[in-house]
Amino acid sequence: MKSPLLSLPGAVPAEGVDEGVAAHYGDLFREQRALADGTGFVDLSHRGVVTVTGEDRLSWLHLLLTQHVSELPAGEATEALILSANGHIEHALYLVDDGTTVWAHVEPGTQEALIAYLESMKFFYRVEVADRTADIAVVHLPAGSITEPPEDAVVRETAYGRDLFLPRAALEDFAAGHGPAAGILAHEALRVEHHRPRLGFETDHRTIPHELGWIGTAVHLQKGCYRGQETVARVHNLGKPPRRLVFLHLDGSEVHLPPAGTEIRLADEEPDGRKIGFVTTSVRHHELGPVALALVKRNVPVDARLLAGDTAAAQEVVVAP
């Protein structure tokens, strides 16, 4: 879905999975500072939107998701995962129930596979699943924003701000009255600052929730009855995940950021030493400078000096060894 807000002055289109919205509007650091100050908004209208209606919607989703949602109060935001039978992360959903409908936004392009899975699990439950991406756009208001959401918007409020589910036809009018607009790069910089994982960025085909700190926020340990639950319980009770998420402060003298997938090695070893991890997301932050999230092997010492490609990096612990 190509956003009409790409016609705003200064808009530079994003690439890759975020194609369809603006990467920035001409001043990346100004846009970051605006969001950090609680002003402006981020156009996330490229994200998939899925709704679930029907009397059994919460009890049914409770059986499929990693989160406890059977008694989710109306208006309370949560997030949840869908795992494979082996406990690997397949989908991440950002949810709110408005009293009659569960609204979820998901990574761009993942909604079709998610809906196909949900449809296959309906059986005799009184639920209806719908893809609302074509008519509903997601807009993010940063924490501290005093913007009043439109009356026809569904609001998902979190510690990091509010996600609005808006009629797509109202997106341009909303932007005209609630600027300044900030691009997806500013949104990503604050996500990295807050150590928040993102599906398809911090995950690969073998990622389990424990590696990314999603236990407790997206995975409820006091519920069972979902695919992959045995792996979650076994790792939590009997072992440790093979990898852990770290936050990296990168050498600011380097001109280029190490891109996602850049191999990480121990700085004290030879240049061709063993790979101990890889960069998942790298950004330029308006206060912290160049920073990144990365996955490293669990047993990497927390004080080890690292190299992300040729770039020196110091780590902060996100997930404990």
Instruction: Give the burial class of 98: count Cβ atoms within 10 A of its Cβ; 0-12 exposed, 13-18 middle, 19 or more buried.
Output: middle
Q: Is the pLDDT of residue 152 over 80?
A: yes
User: What share of the chain in percent tops pLDDT 90?
Assistant: 94
Among positive and negative, which fits the CA dihedral 199, 203, 205, 211?
Answer: negative
Model pTM? 0.95
Total of domains in the chain? 3
Q: What are phi and psi of 68, to 5 degrees?
A: -80, 105
Residue of 183, 227, 213 lying closest to 280 (CA atoms) = 213
Tell me what pLDDT residue 224 has.
82
Residues 165 and 275 in one domain: no
DSSP β-ladder status, 154-158 and 12-13: unpaired
Q: What SS3 state is found at 224?
A: coil
Spatial contact of 147 and 100, defined as CB atoms under 8 Å apart: no
152 located within any domain: yes
Q: Is the pLDDT of residue 179 over 90?
A: no
Residues 69 and 187 in one domain: no
Residue of 49, 59, 53, 37 lying closest to 1 (CA atoms) = 49
Mean pLDDT of 137-154: 96
Q: Is the pLDDT of residue 145 over 80?
A: yes
Helix (H) or strand (E) holding 190: helix 184-193
Tell me what pLDDT residue 167 has.
97
Residues 54 and 176 in one domain: no
Model confidence band, residue 252 (pLDDT cutoffs 50, 70, 90):
confident
217 located within any domain: no
d(CA 215, CA 236): 9
Single residue among 114, 131, 148 that ends a domain in this structure: 131
311 located within any domain: yes
Residues 42 and 140 in one domain: yes
Of residues 248 and 274, the one with the higher pLDDT is: 248
Among positive and negative, which fits the CA dihedral 21, 25, 31, 35?
Answer: negative
257 located within any domain: yes
d(CA 219, CA 213): 9
Give the chain's mean pLDDT.
Answer: 96
Q: Is the pLDDT of residue 232 over 90?
A: yes
CATH code: domain of residue 71 = 3.30.70.1400
228 located within any domain: no
Which CA distances in Å does 301 have to 36, 186, 267?
32, 31, 12
Spatial contact of 125 and 118, defined as CB atoms under 8 Å apart: no
Tell me what pLDDT residue 253 has.
84
The pLDDT tens digits for 286-308 are: 999 999 999 999 999 999 999 99
Residues 21 and 139 in one domain: yes
Residues 52 and 85 in one domain: yes
151 located within any domain: yes
d(CA 123, CA 8): 46
Q: What are phi and psi of 193, to 5 degrees?
A: -55, -40
63 located within any domain: yes
Q: Is the pLDDT of residue 183 over 90?
A: yes
d(CA 133, CA 119): 17
Among positive and negative, which fits the CA dihedral 146, 147, 150, 155?
Answer: negative
The pLDDT tens digits for 86-114 are: 999 999 999 999 999 999 999 999 999 99
Model confidence band, residue 1 (pLDDT cutoffs 50, 70, 90):
confident
Q: What SS3 state is found at 230?
A: helix
d(CA 91, CA 111): 9
Q: What SS3 state is found at 76?
A: coil
d(CA 103, CA 121): 18
Q: Is the pLDDT of residue 266 over 80?
A: yes
111 located within any domain: yes
The pLDDT tens digits for 32-82 are: 999 999 999 999 999 999 999 999 999 999 999 999 999 999 999 999 999
The domain of 265 spans: 242-320
Q: Is the pLDDT of residue 271 over 80?
A: no
Spatial contact of 88 and 161, defined as CB atoms under 8 Å apart: no
